[in-house]
Amino acid sequence: MGSILSATSTTAKSMDQHEASGTDPNKRVKISTYEYGSNPRIIPTLPDELSLQILARSPRIHYLNLKLVCRAWKAAIIGYELSQLRRELGVSEEWVYVLTKAEAYKLHWYALDPVFQKWQRLPPMPSFVNQEESNRTASSAFWMWNVVGSSIRIADYVRGLFWRRNSLDQMPFCGCSVGVADGYLYVIGGFSKAVALNRVCRYDPFLNLWQEVSPMMTGRAFCKAAFLNGKLYVVGGVSRGRNGLLPLRSAEAFDPKTGLWSDLPEMPFARAQVLPTAFLVDVLKPIATGMAPYKGKLYVPQSLYSWPFFFDIGGEIYDPDLNAWSTMPDGLGDGWPARQAGTKLGVVIDDRLYTLEPSSSLDSGKIKRYDSEEDAWVTITPQVPVNDFTGAEAPYLLAGLGGRLHVITKAANNTLQVMQAVVQNNSVSEENVVWTTVASRNFGTAELVSCQVLDV
């Protein structure tokens, strides 16, 4: 690997006798040594392979500063070899990435290192502007300020479907989804005014850089994304139809290794087909309201919406081995709690599916876990301190970090809190569960939008 990080030189001497045995990550296949005066090593007195071993064991929070040491260090830190070696050594770190909305139409990503309890702000995302719309409305001076997202929620679009159909033309960019794949963060789709985009943007944590990658086959907003078996899956969402919003049945998968998207069978929305009258079929629109990778399959809860109401219709399961959809068990789909506007969150930890059921006032909640044998949601943590932010886009978020469920919310003083439940006396009850704050930061009036966990 040293020969890859350092340019080839006539003074380089190969030492092939140090071949690795098996797959031991502490031994590299080939070591190169360089005489002084040739291309610099990462650490002058050590082979590059040993230097990489040292860098790989360094906390990732220091990498931004270490890249400033010299060009050789920067090349090593942003190189593929280092990230691969960290995984081989088992020293990769889980960081939480939180998307916040600081003010109208301005969003920012923040990364949290939970071990050192330090936050880092990511660089701005690229602008996502529909060029055709921009040309037609150039006089309006509509710009995206290098952000993706907005305070507009799907409920606002649903209202526009029935009451303000032309208002979609005036709405700024919004409705993007986020996902992770192979240590990268992805921002997917969204609306640019009235047009659903198929654009996809990827964040590289080692380069600390956003890049546009292969677009989706279908433009969509408010879709759901999840990573399973090496692929990033995207299902549902909405597009712009002749009479307002058009719910999408389509789904597709992205292969990070090839950079290609492929079609999946459409969601049947089987339970939406049994409506009693044609009027209801025309008024009630089926939509995917969540997605979680669970037991090797994709579980997609679904709803029928008619502003301002959402009606549960269970959900469907996609099996990648069979490339087919099936109906979700009744207890799982009908009992999956909704956050707001029909959104259903689900986090899988150790092959167990968790969610949070908010109270009617959104000032507390219950952690629930799905029991596949009983086909029922079981309360495991009876009291979660979620504050009342009914006007917020996301009063709370869920994240699986370090093999445990975490709740991300805001306190009354605008402090963002990442909380973890600690069970005392080996008994789960309101008296024996203590919520501890893993990390916090005051983001002012910024609202929560979404979060993801990257293991790098």
Domain borders along the chain are: 2-89, 94-101+115-120+345-456, 123-336
Q: What is the pLDDT of residue 77?
A: 92
Positive or negative: CA dihedral 437, 151, 340, 265: negative
C-beta separation of 96 from 112 below 8 A: yes
Q: Cβ neighbours of residue 421 under 8 Å, at least 6 residues apart?
A: 367, 381, 384, 405, 433, 434, 435, 436
* Torsion angle in degrees (nearest 10) through CA of 142, 143, 148, 151: -40
Token duo for residue 220: 């969509």
User: The whole model's pTM is what?
Assistant: 0.82
Q: Between 3.20.20.60, 2.120.10.80, 3.20.140.10, 1.10.260.40, what CATH number should domain 123-336 receive?
A: 2.120.10.80
Coil, strand or helix at 119 = strand
Q: What is the pLDDT of residue 393?
A: 65
Q: What is the pLDDT of residue 177?
A: 93
Q: What is the pLDDT of residue 92?
A: 92
Q: What is the pLDDT of residue 3?
A: 35
Q: What is the pLDDT of residue 39?
A: 64
Q: What is the pLDDT of residue 150?
A: 32
Token duo for residue 286: 């089926």
Which residues of the chain, if any, have pLDDT below 70? Answer: 1-39, 104-105, 128-173, 243-244, 274-283, 306-309, 340-341, 360-363, 388-393, 423-432
Distance, CA of 129 to chain centre: 21
Q: Cβ neighbours of residue 98 under 8 Å, at least 6 residues apart?
A: 109, 110, 111, 112, 397, 408, 416, 448, 450, 451
Q: What is the pLDDT of residue 325?
A: 97
Q: What is the pLDDT of residue 431?
A: 56
Helix spans in 215-326 (H): 278-283
Angle at 265 between CA 260 and CA 269, to 5 degrees: 135
Element (H, E) at 76: helix 71-77
Beta strands in 347-446 (DSSP E): 347-349, 352-358, 365-371, 376-384, 396-401, 404-410, 415-423, 433-442
